[in-house]
Each structure stands twice: as C-alpha cells, then as structure tokens.
Structure 1
C-alpha cells in the first residue's frame, strides 16, 4: 500500500512541474509555440516594386516574414541578372502569373522592326528597342550626355541651314528630338526617358547608338 502511495505522489509531482503539459518543455523537440498576435491578413496575390532608371542588375532578393510566434525572420536569394527598369519587380503566389510570363517571353521573341522617328534632307533617325539608328552621310564630330533630364547630343560637321525643330516622339525610350544649326555644324539632341550610358559605332549608313 505504501508503495502505491509513493508512486502516485511522484507522478503528481512530475505533472505539476510542467506549466502546460500540452506544449513541449524547454529543450524538447516538437511543434513551435504560438502567440496571441493576430496573424490574419489578405492572401498575397501580387505586389510590385518599381526601380529607378539607374538600375541595371538585380543582385539579391530578401523576403521578411512573420512566424507563428510573431517573430520576424528573413530569407534571401543571391542573383546576378540584368533587368529592364521600365518593368516592375513582382512578388506573387498566383499561378496565373506563369501564363503572363510565357506571353511576355513569346512577345519578346517576335522580331521587332525599326521605327522611323525623324527625317530631314541631311539626316534620319530610326529606333528599335534601345538602339538608335542614324542615317546620314555627314561626319559626327562629337557626342555626349546631358543630365536632368538625360539627353544625348550629336554634332555633325556640315555648314547647313536647317530649320530649328522640336518633335515629340511616340517612343518608350526616345522621347523628344531637337534639331538646330550652328556655325560649321548642326546639332541633334535626343531626350531619353531615364538614365543611360551609350555605345556608338560607325556604319555604312551612318551610326548606331546602343543604350545601356
């Protein structure tokens, strides 16, 4: 009888030593404890982040999330990809976005033709994506960038009296062209939609300008 009393007492002591027998004790593996913090929120469909026109590469994506116990943690993925700053960065859990991505890729796969921007008796401008095609027989004596807003200036060696002209361009990258004459040369100024660098190459038809 005494043995049963002692055994019952030991069991009661062990149970009372645990504050809550339905949660794991310290050091015991199991489900994490929860908190009284309200974790209800609308289901994520899509969020978009727009980057400035100076952005050219994405190097890392970091997601901050809230755990069941209310604590905040981070997960990151390192990347090394070029990006088009015109397009936002999306965060999504929608399966419909997979279809949209495929449609965008298919659209980009289509070969884009040159679009005419401007024409005078001495010079013509065409564009394709971020390439500017300059058709002229005149020598380009200099080219340089201006900022706020970003513009490319082209000077061509020829003493000609061209009518000063400003033309608004229906283009996503090249927004406006200004033509004017100076002593011994004429100037074309192309206003851009953001920050770029550019490479210039001489061609049989004139010059090609590639924005970066």
Structure 2
C-alpha cells in the first residue's frame, strides 16, 4: 500500500513569538532585527494561506507529513509529523496557517486564549483567563469590538473567516494592556451582550 509524503517549503514568520520572548529577554533584539530583515527580503513572496495536494485513487492511509522550512539564516530543516490515519482519497490534503474551525457542525473554534461558539444570530465568547473591559460597535464594516484584560498574556495577532452568515470574521489582537476581540458582521445589525459569572459572554444580533 502506498502512502504519501508531503513536502512544503515556506518561510516562517516568528515575529509574534519573538516579540513576547524579547520582552522577557533584552538580548533577543538582534534576533528580532534578523527576522525583520528576512521579512523585508521575502516581500516578493506570497504569505502561506493554504496549499493542497490530491492523492491518487489507490491511497488509503496517510502515514506521515514532512515539512521542509527555511530559517532566518537561510538554512533549511525538515520536520516529520507522524499521522498513520486512514484517508478518503476523493478529498485533497491541505496545509494551512489559518486556525481552523474545529467542529463545523457546532461552529466551535478558538484563537489564542479565547474559545468561540456561534449558532445563527448567537455568538458566545469564553475567556476564563481574561476579564471583559468594554464593548462597542464600529461601522464600515460593521464590527463588534470586545476588549479584555491582557493580564500578562502572550502577544498575539490572528483572525479567521468563518464562511458563515451574520458573523463573517473573528480576530484577536494583543494591545499594550488588553486583548481586542473584533467580530466583523456581514451586514448592519444592533446587538446585545450579556456576561455570565464564568467569564462567558453571549452576543445576540437583532
């Protein structure tokens, strides 16, 4: 039985992780500078969003995935991920840097320390580690913004497109002293936000 090995070469951007460590270790400034220079040198290259490969019709199991990546100093390394799971060859294998929705049927997903759930016009944010500070609405595009205490949390900047109606895009961005959750809507709505004692916050559109 054949198995597939996928090799992808891409540059790694480690700015988010490096910036957190740099705040704790001042000697990391040179590494940050090298990372910035590498990003400038790679400006002509597209950032990885998603790549896919179609396996042959006789493929039944994916044994491993090998990723070959280029470091800041130009050297290359490879890491192998053992998979050893059955597959349906009809569907392509995808590699992506987006944080995926974990359960499509129930619309659960996470970004950093925040868990999200959405169903229809209801959107729930769970933030056990962070207190809600305020929330407000922005226009063009219509976006609900919810600020949380950062409490020495790690640097983070990420977002995900849901592909669903009502709540089109969700992002979490670390500011100097807070985390900002931005929820982009697919149209113009009013909303209510109710908080529970367990740091769960429910948004309802109307």
- TM-score category of the 2 structures, normalised to the smaller one: 0.3 to 0.5
Work out which of the two has the higher radius of gyration on C-alpha atoms and give 1 or 2: 1
How does the TM-score come out when normalised to structure 1?
0.44
Return the structure number with greater relative CO, CA threshold 8 A, min gap 6: 2
